[in-house]
Chain A
Amino acid sequence: MNAKERILGKLRASLQGTTPVADDYDVGLLTEPWRYGDETRIARLRQMLEAVHGETLLTTSAEWPARVVEALSARNIDELLISPATAHGQQFAGHLALTGSALRLKAYDRPVEAWKDELFFHTPASLTGTLGGIAATGSLVLWPTPQEPRLMSLVPPFHIALLKASEVRDNFHEFMHEHRWAAGLPTNALLVSGPSKTADIQQTLAYGAHGPKELLVLILEDA
């Protein structure tokens, strides 16, 4: 008998003659206190994100590239990691070409091993899309893909995320249910709520522990 069989054997013996506890999942408790309605949903998301040092900006699907350029230039950043294979990546590249911006774009187009040093030490900012947002907790839902890999939202000190207002839901239960998460999850699904932080030294909050020091969420009101 191996360890698995021995452990399971012990557990089974302990359960002999018992019946499993019924599933009386209380959906109402996870949704009712966390409803916002169309007027306040985005306000709630922004308030929650800003309370944890996230920055949010209302914009539109036509204007967001200009907002990204402004945010980068305000920080003296001249380089952005972006996925050219996504629609938003292409839109942003088009915007730069049109405006003749000097901003350099960097693509995550090789396995991380091929450019780890550059990613870790010479990539100041990144832009990614999101699957949506959750108003109750002020969370972005990230669903990394081969086009927008996991480390894009983690390693660069400044992370800009695009969020369609229409993809924001009131609470986690609603989001998970609507997107049928139980039917299949990607390699690494994520909720991100603000920039990285810690209160490990004398309960004093400090941002930028290991992940992004700054998180800017561009909320596209017309999308």
Chain B
Amino acid sequence: MLSVRIGFSPLNDAALVVLAEVLGCYAAEGLDVSLSREANWSNIRDKLSYGLLDAAHVLATLPLARGLGLGPTIGQIIAPMALGANGNSVVISSKLKEVFEGMGASTLLESARALRLVIQHRRAVSEGKVTLAIPFNYSPHHFVLRHWLAAGGVDPDRQVQWVVLPPSRMADHLRDGVIDGFCSGSPWPQMAELNGDGVVLFSDPAFWTLKPEKVLALRGTWADEHPEEAVALTRAVLRAGQWAADPANANAMAEVLSQKIYVGAPLEAVQKALAPGGAGLILDPQTTTFPWISHAKWFIGQFVRWGLTEGDHDFDAIARRVYRPDLWRQAAEPLGLSLPLDDEKDEGGAAEAWTLPAEPNDILMPPNTLFDGGVFRVSRA
């Protein structure tokens, strides 16, 4: 058996990587997997680079940052599948929440506009900048918050102070007034709310009903040297997805995740995040694990929009080198999943369930809309 080292961060959206171990899916695919719980994303990134990890649960943006040459760069990281959709929440201080309510802001757009007024007011009375925390610079969290702020007329570069903090400490900083809000993966926002340190303002689905968030990452050279195992590993995680998608397994899943060696948070917080109205995490392998090139391009577009990279890369080539739908198809076919005909789709603009052309059967997809009504349309040749 090939031994494979897989890293993960203590978050609910590591579910499929963790469950594949608990359910014996790795062993069933002939892989001897050892999981390693990591304290931060930098460590996962570097361990993947230096061959101390072969695979990992990572932010969907992390392999793309590497592909764009951002951060310490050594080697390639590829993404053969997504690990579900959604799972993050934005938490703000109770004080800010009261202000928003006082202004009658109930939608995301209204709350962003309300925040603009708060920022103007604070500047007028010489109070400090509004400070928001994210867990990592090159993260979907960062892009979600910036997109939301910009939609309300806030300049995220000049009018907001950004800090990177570990999710486990964000609640404390919010309570102490160091930050005004944060975005992080569950169950930490729910934990903050249960402890009375802040209030969830919105979760991923309210921003984008089917938001890409985490992917399975493989060290490029490892995947090159072990092409069959790379597919087998992807298949093992997809199998875990088939189990996790069954609502009958929801309680068992929450109990596994809350264990100390995995997420290590109180069961109540884990369940609150997974419940309807929580962080909206969807783990269905058929509709949420395909590594869409259009997701990669949306993220790359955000890197460019916020000045994190120059605009002179071949974005199509980078997206296709990093996100690997071909590997997903090889892994998924024997499991009886349907294979999308295309690697890209429109992101946003689908308020109702819709049909995605696929083989052997078309796939019934959930609604796919962004809060501001925006549509990210792929150009087809």
Q: Do A and B bind each other?
A: no
